[in-house]
Structure 1
């Protein structure tokens, strides 16, 4: 896919729409809510191959344009790129976006990036976010991404954030937090098995 590498329009900040066309529109629906888990066979293989080309081609300057965009789709996808390419230099900016977020779907990507980049600073950002959102009062599920990310960093279940009363507003079922943790790890596993560019998981 040579357009990822050689398109001269990528050099100008006036061409954000072209960036969205190449790096966002083909991918965001499968990244949203972790929908790529529902792919099967050839569909998953095709998606993984196309995403890997994009990951290997996107530059830091292009990523900055994505992560600063007003559209949640663009920011969600940009955060996934940061996660999947291990670009830890973006961690402070993602942390600031997460802290200032207003509940849109980009929060999923921020949490995923923080979880895969890891480290104490990322963990602290996730804990601060989750603490500010609990008890959970709706079923949007964004908080589950933070919970899964913390569990991934810690390598254990963060039981202090899994008490049933903290999630009663989202689901009456006691295993709701565990669902978030397991889904996060399923995403990490499928990405690893699909051989998508993942320097932090190789």
Structure 2
């Protein structure tokens, strides 16, 4: 049960980090349509916010709704706070709707380690078996392909085999159209590039790790 003081703190964090300039709506694919000074200004403000927010405050946002969790995941990605890896993996696997999961995938992709790839594999193993659900399978396969390329691994291969789980998922109920997996990989790569650009304005402490958006 959330106490009044906790609720007040959450509302203050939302005011400071989630709703300025409707940040929570702009994080994601909409970032890729921004250019020039608008893109640079958004990246600067995002990086500064990522450096300013404390780990305890990120935890509070991760316990909030999808807007708070989406924003927190981006701030974690930009600041490279790898201590949140397992928490993001848990939230991704929980599958609580389609709005924040893309941000979790971006964060795991920016961390860029085999441990992050394993969390994406766990998610795909579970949710590609559910063709009735269209949550974050697409960004997850894109993030895994990106990590495979960076790590010299091939964990996505079994999902993408001709009779693999990816094919079974896209052959399910025709409620969505799907791009090729490589397109999702490129999409996540471009979001990671934006996270990297924002990270140049981040002055967080010792938990920050180098980004690898290539």
Normalised TM-score (structure 2): 0.76
1:13-35 Cα offsets, whole Å, 9 max, x none, are 33211111111113211113x21
- Whether 2:119 is the aligned partner of 1:125: answer yes
> 2:211 corresponds to which residue?
201
Describe how 1:97-108 pairs up with structure 2 within 5 A: 97-108=91-102
Q: Deviations over 1:158-178 (max 9, x none)?
A: 3333356242346566x4322
Identify if the C-alpha distance between structure 1 residues 139 and 36 changes in structure 2 by more than 3 Å, giving closer, same or farther.
Answer: farther
User: Do structure 1's residue 112 and structure 2's residue 122 form an aligned pair?
Assistant: no
* Equivalent residue, structure 2, for 1:160: 158
Decide whether aligned partners of structure 1 residues 177 and 24 sit closer, same or farther in structure 2, where only a CA change above 3 A counts. same
| Deviation sequence 1:18-71 (CA, Å, 0-9, x none) | 111111113211113x210011222111111111110110111110111111x1
- 1:31 is aligned, of 12, 24, 27, to 27
Which of 176, 179, 182 aligns to 2:183? It is 179
Over residues 67-90 of structure 1, what are the superposed CA-to-partner deviations in whole Å (9 max), with x where a residue is unaligned? 111x10100111111111111111
> Structure 2: which 5+ runs fail to align?
203-207
TM-score, scaled relative to structure 1: 0.80
RMSD after superposition: 2.6
- Could you tell me which runs of 5 or more consecutive residues in structure 1 were left unpaired when the two chains were aligned: 1-11
Q: Which residue of 2 aligns with 1:96?
A: 90
Q: 1:59-74 counterparts in 2 under 5 A?
A: 59-69=54-64, 71-74=65-68
CA separation of 1:193/1:57 partners in 2, compared to 1, >3 Å: closer, same or farther? closer
